Chains A and B, each alone.
Chain A
Amino acid sequence: DQQVKQNSPSLSVQEGRISILNCDYTNSMFDYFLWYKKYPAEGPTFLISISSIKDKNEDGRFTVFLNKSAKHLSLHIVPSQPGDSAVYFCAASATGNTGKLIFGQGTTLQVKP
């Protein structure tokens, strides 16, 4: 039972353009959502998060949008840079419990120069 889904295994964009990574979830108890970036041979690195009481959070080039009614969130990267090429994981948690994260399968982003 995949509670967090990233349906696009890969995405390729041109440098300077917008990258949009999508994530869907099924568990309505999730109230906190995070995006992590992962380079090969490294652990995931926290990127940006959003609480369920918000619908948007912005940090520099990164913006996360949350649509609770659709159980959908997206990560926008503008402008995309070659150094953004990595695997991006969406994760969710229900903060009332242990804080364990439920991850999606990941989307590999390639930003071409």
Chain B
Amino acid sequence: DTGVSQDPRHKITKRGQNVTFRCDPISEHNRLYWYRQTLGQGPEFLTYFQNEAQLEKSRLLSDRFSAERPKGSFSTLEIQRTEQGDSAMYLCASSLPDPRNEQFFGPGTRLTVL
């Protein structure tokens, strides 16, 4: 396994369109996280899955955002009716249920909303 992968790496869309991103975690990792990073800031937590169950969502995650992890493997993050403020790097991370909590990050999907 070569690590966490994300697709696409870049996405340019017009305001009001829907977009979907995919994350493939490291295969034996049952924890999966989504973060968002804007320029000059650190990653901000969006949501967390343990296997297929979504156990926590940040208040940053408006009702235009939805995430799924249907079979406890890959995950998707969908943004409906995109706004210019959604422009950011969307990062996915995965980990084992380990008290050291080392999360392995993917390369991210850069979203630009015009």
Contacts and interface: CB of A to CB of B under 8 A. Distances in A.
Nearest to A9: B40
A100 B100 contact: no
A103 B44 contact: yes
Interface residues of A, number: 28
A101 B45 contact: yes
Nearest to A87: B42
A4 to B, nearest CB: 8
Which interface residue of A34, A45, A99 has the most chain B CB atoms within 10 A?
A99
Interface string B94-114: 010001111111111000000
A71 B56 CA distance: 26
A101 B43 contact: yes
B102 A91 contact: no
A59 interface: no
B42 A98 contact: no
